[in-house]
Chains A and B, each alone.
Chain A
């Protein structure tokens, strides 16, 4: 299991905790990839949550698929989805219909947690209203600050923007509004002088 270390990080870089049960009227849980394991620990620690739990599970981009295990956890509602985009309408519908007292949990990759947080904030919740746990791949969701295109699951640094083709350096600078890290052109002054890519976000 991978966890971001708290030391030496930029202030905007999000940090994550553990999925622990919270008091509330309803429990809405969104997870991807290895995040399914965190959901299992959560529901096993607090089985009384199950009749009031709604889980959306998305297989990881790295191939980890715990759909079978998570569907058997006994939540009142279980909904598998192939991607965040395909689940997004349901997530916004649940948030839109809910009342204060709903507890929101997100587990898995930073890209998933960030998008749940962004949608929660769009629904009017404060940014700290989420319980989060980072599990699985450290791959990042990165916005190219030049063309504004977002590249998902970035593991290399620098990498080539999937939209405009610039060579981007991945910063720790994070935007909650976009749910993305910022990628900045690394060879703007000396085009073509690009350091070799390293797999920084496995």
Chain B
């Protein structure tokens, strides 16, 4: 059901980029070429964290033209559920891991006349692959990259060296901010806008662009959510006829998988829509955390995204 072809890989490099970010390089165990991907694609990394299976999606940041390996960067989240901590503490060069084939939910629209990219913090990673792709195609682009300070502006200096005036950096500590209204006003017709970063930044960029008359089809964004922690609850599956307990730090999808149910998934971050499930009964409140369902669907309690959403109440029955 999950329909993902997995690959056995070896970790060949672990590089400490700054105090929060580490970079990992994977090559195939059988020595073969990696499947091709386009800028903006991600891979789902499987982790065996002392018996707990964790699957996290990370954007591929290596050059799409490089089929010898994939690279990702992981920002350590000390208050997260543990996936990024496992990557930082547990993953060493030489280790065998399993990753998924690449999936792209944040692809470039190559019909654009120009690509305007806005990155916040670790949101830079998909743009590194996209810029390599655009540069080799000779397409016009510019990137505006905001970070807390020079140290946390990962890859900023080397990207500036590579792309010169096409790269603009902003540091919060120096009170530098992207002049968004002016930036959006001066873009030629046919520009597409891409934003990846914290939730607040994505909302700010998209709503400003919409207010200034940018068409929806020219706006692209990506935000992967980590499944939020919450109270434990029980979910009943109407087709399989079983009840499954979801722990406080576990997502519903992870609980289904731990019970041996092959539920559909792709991004595991509330963005792609693949894991959408019909709700047969919900006596209580569905805590919707995804970007996929419409507000009407959320209010109607007819669907749920098991990768990130939770439940609080008497009884939840889903069609699985």
A contact residues vs B (CB 8 Å cutoff): 22-25, 95-96, 98-103, 121, 123-129
Apart from A99-B189, A124-B112, 18 more pairs, CB < 8 Å: A22-B213, A24-B212, A25-B185, A99-B187, A100-B185, A100-B191, A100-B213, A101-B184, A101-B185, A123-B113, A124-B113, A125-B215, A126-B215, A127-B217, A128-B217, A129-B215, A129-B217, A129-B218
Kindly state the separation between the CA atoms of A99 and B190 in the bound complex, as whole angstroms: 8
Interface residue? B216 (CB, 8 A): yes
B contact residues vs A (CB 8 Å cutoff): 109, 111-114, 184-191, 211-218
Kindly state the separation between the CA atoms of A38 and B216 in the bound complex, as whole angstroms: 24
List the A side residues contacting B114 at CB < 8 Å.
Answer: 124
Q: Which of B187, B212, B213, B218 contacts A126 (CB 8 A)?
A: B218
Report yes or no: A25 in contact with B189, Cβ–Cβ below 8 A. no
List the A side residues contacting B213 at CB < 8 Å.
Answer: 22-25, 100-103
List the B side residues contacting A127 at CB < 8 Å.
Answer: 217
List the A side residues contacting B112 at CB < 8 Å.
Answer: 124
A51 to chain B, nearest CB (A): 16
Report yes or no: B189 in contact with A125, Cβ–Cβ below 8 A. yes
List the A side residues contacting B185 at CB < 8 Å.
Answer: 25, 99-101
Report yes or no: A125 in contact with B212, Cβ–Cβ below 8 A. no
Kindly state the separation between the CA atoms of A131 and B229 in the bound complex, as whole angstroms: 44
Closest 8 CB pairs of A and B: A124-B190, A126-B217, A24-B213, A124-B113, A129-B215, A100-B187, A101-B213, A98-B189
Report yes or no: A23 in contact with B215, Cβ–Cβ below 8 A. no
A147 to chain B, nearest CB (A): 28
Residue among B113, B211, B213 with the highest chain A CB neighbour number at 10 A = B213
Kindly state the separation between the CA atoms of A25 and B211 in the bound complex, as whole angstroms: 10
A45 to chain B, nearest CB (A): 17
Report yes or no: A124 in contact with B212, Cβ–Cβ below 8 A. no
Q: Which residue of chain A lies nearest to B188 when distances are taken between CB atoms in the complex?
A: A99
Report yes or no: A100 in contact with B214, Cβ–Cβ below 8 A. yes
A23-B211, A100-B184, A101-B212 given; A124·B189 CB < 8 A: yes
Kindly state the separation between the CA atoms of A129 and B188 in the bound complex, as whole angstroms: 15
Kindly state the separation between the CA atoms of A9 and B111 in the bound complex, as whole angstroms: 28
Complex A-B: 26 CB contacts under 8 Å: A22-B213, A23-B211, A23-B213, A24-B212, A25-B212, A99-B186, A99-B188, A100-B188, A100-B191, A100-B214, A101-B184, A102-B189, A102-B213, A121-B111, A123-B189, A124-B111, A124-B113, A124-B114, A124-B189, A125-B190, A125-B215, A125-B217, A125-B218, A126-B218, A128-B216, A129-B217
Kindly state the separation between the CA atoms of A15 and B212 in the bound complex, as whole angstroms: 25
Q: Which residue of chain A lies nearest to B216 when distances are taken between CB atoms in the complex?
A: A128
Q: Which residue of chain B lies nearest to A24 when distances are taken between CB atoms in the complex?
A: B213
Kindly state the separation between the CA atoms of A98 and B186 in the bound complex, as whole angstroms: 9
Kindly state the separation between the CA atoms of A100 and B185 in the bound complex, as whole angstroms: 7
Kindly state the separation between the CA atoms of A24 and B215 in the bound complex, as whole angstroms: 10
List the B side residues contacting A121 at CB < 8 Å.
Answer: 111
Residue among A24, A25, A95, A99 with the highest chain B CB neighbour number at 10 A = A99
Q: Which residue of chain A lies nearest to B214 when distances are taken between CB atoms in the complex?
A: A100
List the B side residues contacting A95 at CB < 8 Å.
Answer: 189
Kindly state the separation between the CA atoms of A129 and B191 in the bound complex, as whole angstroms: 12
Residue among B114, B187, B211, B212 with the highest chain A CB neighbour number at 10 A = B212
List the B side residues contacting A100 at CB < 8 Å.
Answer: 184-185, 187-189, 191, 212-214, 218
B214 to chain A, nearest CB (A): 6
B113 to chain A, nearest CB (A): 4
Kindly state the separation between the CA atoms of A126 and B212 in the bound complex, as whole angstroms: 16
List the B side residues contacting A124 at CB < 8 Å.
Answer: 111-114, 189-191
List the A side residues contacting B212 at CB < 8 Å.
Answer: 23-25, 100-101
Kindly state the separation between the CA atoms of A113 and B213 in the bound complex, as whole angstroms: 20
Report yes or no: B214 in contact with A101, Cβ–Cβ below 8 A. yes
Kindly state the separation between the CA atoms of A101 and B185 in the bound complex, as whole angstroms: 7
B124 to chain A, nearest CB (A): 23
Q: Which of A22, A123, A128 contacts B190 (CB 8 A)?
A: A123
Q: Which residue of chain A lies nearest to B187 when distances are taken between CB atoms in the complex?
A: A100
Q: Which residue of chain A lies nearest to B109 when distances are taken between CB atoms in the complex?
A: A126
Kindly state the separation between the CA atoms of A127 and B114 in the bound complex, as whole angstroms: 16
A102 to chain B, nearest CB (A): 6
